[in-house]
Structure 1
């Protein structure tokens, strides 16, 4: 096709239209992901985990049943406690990344700078950029097998141009025990379906990190007066004569639903992060990188007011 020519997509299948829109958007998302990384990368190092290696990680108290040969007697002599000397795990780990491709992810209200889909892809690509610098193996289920390469983010972006599964959750046939999975989704599917998919992945021994991304309008319900709501998944419509009368019930149900999913993740040992698209992408990136690095999770999802 000649450069500068245009194509009438009026009668094209929706999947084709969406694929071409994504192809046009992906380079910008990759640039934005690298910009986000540049704002937070200073002073960061690879994920530090206890394991077999040569580099010192931390001292910790000795407990019965552990190897006496690992006691650091010099450190223990400083007080009345016995300490072990932990070393840092040095082997590359496999981290799978996933951005929900559901139609609901394309929503963007007037108060949001980007759609949920764009924010999810930026977070995924930025995380790929950071993990690649740490030597991790990174993959995207059903799109690209795990790779360990400095240009992993670029390769994932290129692969997503040509192939992107439609399922809101990743295919689990490649997700093996001890691997980690980062899912960025609005989690608007039926709650029972979400819990079942999380449980299935958990039974496979996968350690998950869920980022629930929301448009500010979905959380605060700013609508008033006669308003028509349309389900982007099914096309079903609901017309409310006075939408403001629904606000209290809606926000109560929305927060309870989110907390139910978050609590289920915690019971499985998964992390859960709530993120709004009117916040900085770097906030979600820092939070999920912390979870991958083993930082403790603050109990309960919290939403912040838009940054000034």
Structure 2
């Protein structure tokens, strides 16, 4: 199995790694355009975080609840009928969200059933989320590349950083030492490590009081295992090869292991009030974007005509 988050066994020499990083950087400008196109399809009707809190922007009137401070009552609005109303202001305190897209070799995989490589989808989702969060006034950071900053052009800043020479030296595993309490961390990858290793890595971040969101990008063949006959499999991270004389005889066992890994990660996220979302590369990226943005803002949303799949 390919590996994604955790301790890695180095295989690539430096030249291979640099070539892969430069290829990734060359894709970033086009992926930023795609990310903004996706955002434009889901942004209609969304207004910032739309969350009650401290701020100066009016959000809504709502019925008064016993126990709330009387200072929040809007007496002019309440005088119009027999109900007592409170004036809610929109939350305007900037929040820190760390974003990361898995750069490991396994993310380069694309089958005939997938519309794009896993890496391209991961970067598009990361940039699209940066665009949405930046428009909401949140602080966006990227481990080892960008310190959290509030900027209306956050997606563009992140794209430039990902295409820079500095990005070539980033490790395949994110360094999350700077993550602080109450921050959100969004990790986009394939998470094909043994789940025990992934969970151990995530728990080193959880003890800091951060909330984690896993967004798994999967190629269709990784779920359905359509292989038959004599087939050779190669691990892109370690170079290990395995030949199956009758690959179809391995299908059920493989799918059972694959599903068990995913369910173990999903259950761990659910217990800690984290989120786990799956996006297949033959599905719309906007589906995962809507689901994840909803978990980050605390208000799950849906795009008309598009189902939200795989969110824990």
Give the TM interval when normalised to the shorter protein. Answer: 0.7 to 0.9
Identify the structure with bigger relative contact order (alpha carbons < 8 Å, sequence gap 6+).
2
Report what 1:126 is aligned to. 128
Report what 1:294 is aligned to. 298
Shift of 1:49: 2.3
Report what 1:189 is aligned to. 193
Q: How many residues align?
A: 287
CA contact (8 A) 2:277 2:310 kept: no
Distance (whole Å) between structure 2 residues aligned to residue 289 and residue 239 of structure 1? 41
206, 213, 227: which one pairs with 1:209? Answer: 213
Report what 1:158 is aligned to. 160
Question: Aligned pair in 2 of structure 1 residues 63, 18: CA closer, same or farther (>3 Å)?
Answer: farther
Question: Aligned pair in 2 of structure 1 residues 105, 59: CA closer, same or farther (>3 Å)?
Answer: same
Matches for 1:97-176 after TM superposition, within 5 Å: 97-161=99-163, 162-164=165-167, 165-168=170-173, 170-176=174-180
Question: Aligned pair in 2 of structure 1 residues 245, 149: CA closer, same or farther (>3 Å)?
Answer: same
Shift of 1:182: 1.2
Report what 1:262 is aligned to. 266
> Secondary structure of 2:187's partner?
strand
CA contact (8 A) 1:96 1:141 kept: yes
The C-alpha deviation readout for 1:213-236, integer Å capped at 9, x for no partner, is 100000110111111111111110
The C-alpha deviation readout for 1:133-174, integer Å capped at 9, x for no partner, is 222211111101112222211111111122332233x21211
Distance (whole Å) between structure 2 residues aligned to residue 56 and residue 40 of structure 1? 21
CA contact (8 A) 2:54 2:91 kept: yes
Mapped pair 1:220 → 2:224: yes
The C-alpha deviation readout for 1:89-120, integer Å capped at 9, x for no partner, is 11111111110111111111111111111100
Q: Which runs of 4+ in 1 moved over 3 A?
A: 56-64, 66-75, 82-87, 301-304
CA contact (8 A) 2:49 2:297 kept: yes
Shift of 1:303: 5.7
Question: Aligned pair in 2 of structure 1 residues 236, 37: CA closer, same or farther (>3 Å)?
Answer: same
CA contact (8 A) 2:141 2:149 kept: yes
> Secondary structure of 2:257's partner?
helix
The C-alpha deviation readout for 1:45-103, integer Å capped at 9, x for no partner, is 21122322243456478476x6565567849x958xx9866543111111111101111
> Secondary structure of 1:47's partner?
coil
5+ residue gaps, structure 2, are 1-12, 303-307
Distance (whole Å) between structure 2 residues aligned to residue 199 and residue 42 of structure 1? 36
Distance (whole Å) between structure 1 residues aligned to residue 188 and residue 227 of structure 2? 26
Distance (whole Å) between structure 1 residues aligned to residue 310 and residue 93 of structure 2? 35
Report what 1:234 is aligned to. 238
CA contact (8 A) 2:135 2:152 kept: yes
Distance (whole Å) between structure 1 residues aligned to residue 64 and residue 270 of structure 2? 26
CA contact (8 A) 2:287 2:309 kept: no
Shift of 1:12: 7.7
Question: Aligned pair in 2 of structure 1 residues 23, 53: CA closer, same or farther (>3 Å)?
Answer: closer
Distance (whole Å) between structure 2 residues aligned to residue 203 and residue 88 of structure 1? 30
48, 51, 54: which one pairs with 2:53? Answer: 51
User: What RMSD, in angstroms, separates the aligned Cα atoms of the two structures?
Assistant: 2.6
Distance (whole Å) between structure 2 residues aligned to residue 192 and residue 138 of structure 1? 29
Question: Aligned pair in 2 of structure 1 residues 45, 56: CA closer, same or farther (>3 Å)?
Answer: closer
5+ residue gaps, structure 1, are 1-10
CA contact (8 A) 1:99 1:183 kept: yes
